[in-house]
Structure 1
């Protein structure tokens, strides 16, 4: 039976899984990653740390899987996106990772956001420069890390940096290059950059990764890296994907009739549609996907599980203990409401100035109220997004499939069902949602399974039906959240 080693690089954590072609996750190894905050709005990571953790997690995952290294047929990678890694020709990092949260180059790239440029980018690519995109990160490297800029053979997304390290060859595809903003995405399957967009961006084309077809084999595991990972030299390495794509596959959302919700560090709703489209007023867009000839829906809702971690730290609790506390508080938290916009509000109401807050506190507010309010706040934010996604996709979702670290919690899953008023299907092994998605894509690309097989290969651990008696409670809370959007931005202005 075929096996895939899947590498899922998130913002705050890394996961490596061994997955069988029936969707079963045989093992999962996880590691935390360090973020470095830099004065002036900078957020960086160390790609050397990524690699050390990948090596350690790979050994752990393979050892725990019960299969031999020779039984690993392919490696598939997925990662967070809109971050830039400067790498050498063999994939070795030559400077810091500029993370998607970093907005230090917003002013330096203001000229890219002139009306004419925006119009061209939206028409061809689907997303225009916004100040903390890959183009801005490349400009930042040029000015703040000139040695790294000069030594870089290419500027790539994290997933492509990992693939290059595995194979010794630098490449990207139309899906992973989406954050570079340099491909005409009106054509699905493009393998060339748009020369006009490159000219407008002022980017050196010699420092861009070569584009290869989505779903293709990027290369083979080198002898040196195979020795380091304890795997078989020559193992096929598939060209990767941005994690919204594997979130969709990992929740079975491989067509417009299905929707997945993944809450990890951030929260996202995902689906697939046949054509490229965008609703920039609601921050909804699509990216070319290797799932058939479709486009994956990108509906980034903002901070998810990171909100729970943040508040848990303030209260001297762990995230696990917060879940336990949340189960002790009543629905609606006796009026306590959490606004989850720690890094601004994203879809469906984008506002970079919005900030998080607790409102409705009283002398009777307990830590249990605060804990549940965080879970409800993230769910309410998602409930505001789902109707916009339905309109965007052209389908009604009576049920959604729930994955990501938050889906380990029955409490959070039931809150999500109650708040959204929809059946929530909680996936098995939810921490492996993206890793399973990457592996299932690899199996499809290798011919072991078909596109039609994918939804049935996502095992469901539990079904959560909404409690109709709580509908009015959460309808009132949703209205309060909408009314509080301006309030949440006061501290940032």
Structure 2
């Protein structure tokens, strides 16, 4: 039996999934990541710990495959985007990895927002000015840690760090590079404008390679440690936002993906990059002919966790049941979910959350309903911007932990007034990495063919007209509430 492995190097978990040639999952492993918060606004991980988890999940999957007498054709990589690790001249890391959620560079992002360079930079790189972008963190090192900055030989992401440990090469795929705010993503080269602003040069960034780039693992000791044959091809793959779109089957015009895990995102794939005049959308590279544009939210499933642990003190299943007992619109109660600042659609790290129009009759159940509605209406704002810049959404492909709740998915359908198709598997990043690997090795003629053959769906939900009418009005009120922050 021939198998293909996709590895998703996330910030919550590192996961590996093997599928056979029919698309059936034949092996899976997952390991939880540890995140550090040494100071307020700081969010870090230890790159060596993440590498250890990467090794562990491949070991576990390869062991499962051995018991099934299965061979490994290739391993494709998916990774969370926007991490930053400074490396010295001896290729040693100088700090832990700064994650996308790390907001220490707020002041640098604020300065970029008002700098004249942004009018030229955004059309090149397609990334809004925000502390999630590695560009602003590089400027932070230069301005706030000059002693460290003087020792930095290069900046890398977690994925580049792992790739270097596997192959001894600093290489970055177009997709991960497009998330740095340093890549001219139409010309597939580092932006001189961005590098000059950061105070670095191209030698301090990894070599750019296509997302189909392969390297074969030739280190016998490492291959033995991973439990895979010497010469196994690794395909560098792409960033998680792009591979989630690919793995969820969202390549056709008018198909939009929505993911809610800890955070969330809405994205569309197109042949050209989106460039929102108001700079509210990102654009990442899947490959040279597929761009993924959209908006991420900081506030997804973590908002329900906050409600559970800090406010209502009930478990999430009880909160969902309470919310379901209340009618659409929560009797006028509105919730703006910006508990962790926000990326799209406002791109304001200083934004804050709030309940608005709170009155005597509102109960805990109303608060639960309004909280879920607020998260979804914020995502709907992002969807509307995408529709205006690319193509009108005709169907949503949904994945993430929230799809385990039929009530929550139906709520999404009603608020978006759009049919929702739920992916059978929530491992869209792993599957996307696998499809890229298959295309790289000639197993697939095109990514579209891979989607048709390997992406599967569970249930499809349709809007309830009586509910959507309520939410069309509520959405207009939510937009007004967003402005109060």
Flag whether TM exceeds 0.5 (same fold): yes
1:306 equivalent to 2:295? Answer no
2:432 & 2:319 partners in 1: Cα distance? 28
Change (3 A) 1:219 1:116: farther
1:230 & 1:352 partners in 2: Cα distance? 43
Change (3 A) 1:129 1:218: farther
1:410 equivalent to 2:406? Answer yes
Secondary structure of the residue that 2:292 maps to in structure 1? strand
2:26 & 2:423 partners in 1: Cα distance? 15
- The answer to whether the Cα contact below 8 Å between 1:89 and 1:168 also exists between their aligned partners in 2 is no
Q: State the Cα distance separating 1:470 from its structure 2 match.
A: 0.8
Q: Which residue of 2 aligns with 1:448?
A: 443
1:172 equivalent to 2:168? Answer no
Residues 96-127 of structure 1 deviation map (CA, whole Å, 9 limit, x = unaligned): 01122223234467776664422331243233
- The answer to whether the Cα contact below 8 Å between 1:89 and 1:153 also exists between their aligned partners in 2 is yes
Matches within 5 A, 1:71-86: 71-86=71-86
Secondary structure of the residue that 1:169 maps to in structure 2? coil
1:310 & 1:217 partners in 2: Cα distance? 42
- The answer to whether the Cα contact below 8 Å between 1:106 and 1:130 also exists between their aligned partners in 2 is yes
Which of 211, 214, 217 in structure 2 is aligned with 1:214? 211
Matches within 5 A, 1:222-261: 222-261=219-258
- The answer to whether the Cα contact below 8 Å between 1:160 and 1:240 also exists between their aligned partners in 2 is no
Change (3 A) 1:353 1:88: closer
Secondary structure of the residue that 2:52 maps to in structure 1? helix
- The answer to whether the Cα contact below 8 Å between 1:91 and 1:169 also exists between their aligned partners in 2 is no
1:365 & 1:471 partners in 2: Cα distance? 22
Q: Which residue of 2 aligns with 1:297?
A: 293
Q: Which residue of 2 aligns with 1:162?
A: 162
- The answer to whether the Cα contact below 8 Å between 1:90 and 1:169 also exists between their aligned partners in 2 is no
Q: State the Cα distance separating 1:242 from its structure 2 match.
A: 1.3
- The answer to whether the Cα contact below 8 Å between 1:172 and 1:210 also exists between their aligned partners in 2 is yes
- The answer to whether the Cα contact below 8 Å between 1:383 and 1:419 also exists between their aligned partners in 2 is yes
Change (3 A) 1:295 1:14: same
Q: Which residue of 2 aligns with 1:426?
A: 422
Residues 26-64 of structure 1 deviation map (CA, whole Å, 9 limit, x = unaligned): 344333323222435322121222123333333444455
| Structure 1 unaligned residues grouped into runs of 5+ | none
Q: State the Cα distance separating 1:148 from its structure 2 match.
A: 6.8
- The answer to whether the Cα contact below 8 Å between 2:257 and 2:267 also exists between their aligned partners in 1 is yes
Q: Which residue of 2 aligns with 1:377?
A: 374
Which of 431, 439, 444 in structure 2 is aligned with 1:436? 431
Matches within 5 A, 1:59-78: 59-63=59-63, 71-78=71-78
| Structure 2 unaligned residues grouped into runs of 5+ | none
Q: State the Cα distance separating 1:183 from its structure 2 match.
A: 2.7
1:417 & 1:486 partners in 2: Cα distance? 25
Q: Which residue of 2 aligns with 1:8?
A: 8
Cα root mean square deviation, aligned = 3.0
Change (3 A) 1:329 1:135: same
Change (3 A) 1:329 1:434: farther
Residues 203-237 of structure 1 deviation map (CA, whole Å, 9 limit, x = unaligned): 14332111122311144264333333333332211
Q: Which residue of 1 aligns with 2:48?
A: 48
Q: Which residue of 2 aligns with 1:279?
A: 276
- The answer to whether the Cα contact below 8 Å between 2:134 and 2:181 also exists between their aligned partners in 1 is yes
1:104 & 1:407 partners in 2: Cα distance? 33
Q: State the Cα distance separating 1:90 from its structure 2 match.
A: 10
Q: State the Cα distance separating 1:403 from its structure 2 match.
A: 1.1
- The answer to whether the Cα contact below 8 Å between 1:336 and 1:370 also exists between their aligned partners in 2 is yes
Matches within 5 A, 1:18-33: 18-33=18-33
Q: State the Cα distance separating 1:298 from its structure 2 match.
A: 2.9
- The answer to whether the Cα contact below 8 Å between 2:131 and 2:349 also exists between their aligned partners in 1 is no
Change (3 A) 1:58 1:468: same
Q: Which residue of 2 aligns with 1:359?
A: 356
Q: State the Cα distance separating 1:70 from its structure 2 match.
A: 6.0
- The answer to whether the Cα contact below 8 Å between 1:112 and 1:200 also exists between their aligned partners in 2 is no
Q: Which residue of 2 aligns with 1:205?
A: 202
Give the structure-1-normalised TM-score: 0.87
- The answer to whether the Cα contact below 8 Å between 1:221 and 1:237 also exists between their aligned partners in 2 is no
Change (3 A) 1:177 1:321: same
Identify the range of structure 1 (106-115 vs 318-327) with the bigger mean alpha-carbon deviation. Answer: 106-115
1:370 & 1:313 partners in 2: Cα distance? 14
1:411 & 1:64 partners in 2: Cα distance? 36
Identify the range of structure 1 (271-280 vs 357-366) with the bigger mean alpha-carbon deviation. Answer: 357-366
- The answer to whether the Cα contact below 8 Å between 2:424 and 2:458 also exists between their aligned partners in 1 is yes
